[in-house]
Amino acid sequence: MILNRATLPLNKTEIFSEDVDFSSQTFDENHVKRIEKCSVKVDATEYGDVLRVQLSGEAEVVASCSYTLEDVPMKVKFHEDLYFSSEQDNSQDCYFEPSVNVNLDPYILSLILAEVPHNVTKSGAKLPESGNGYRVLSEEQYLEEKKNKKNSAFAILDTIEFDDEDK
Q: Is the pTM above the cut of 0.85?
A: no
136 part of a folded domain:
no
159 part of a folded domain:
no
Say what the pLDDT of residue 122 is. Answer: 83
Say what the pLDDT of residue 165 is. Answer: 64
Say what the pLDDT of residue 75 is. Answer: 95
Contacts for 67 with CB less than 8 Å, ≥ 6 apart: 121, 122, 125, 126, 127, 128
Contacts for 150 with CB less than 8 Å, ≥ 6 apart: 158
Instruction: Report the 10 Å Cβ neighbour count for 95.
Output: 14
Fill in the DSSP letter of residue 158: G
Tell me which residue range forms the domain holding 30. Answer: 2-115
**pLDDT (tens digit, 0 to 9) for every residue of the chain, 167 residues total?**
888 888 888 889 889 899 989 888 888 777 888 899 999 999 999 887 888 999 999 999 999 888 888 888 999 999 999 998 877 765 668 888 888 888 899 999 999 999 988 888 888 777 777 777 888 888 888 888 887 777 667 767 767 777 766 55
How many domains, in total, are found in the chain? Answer: 1
Say what the pLDDT of residue 56 is. Answer: 94
Q: What is the chain's percent helix, strand, coil content, to nearest 5?
A: 20, 40, 45
125 part of a folded domain:
no
146 part of a folded domain:
no
54: burial class by Cβ within 10 Å (0-12, 13-18, 19+)?
Answer: middle
95 neighbors 64 (Cβ within 8 angstroms): no
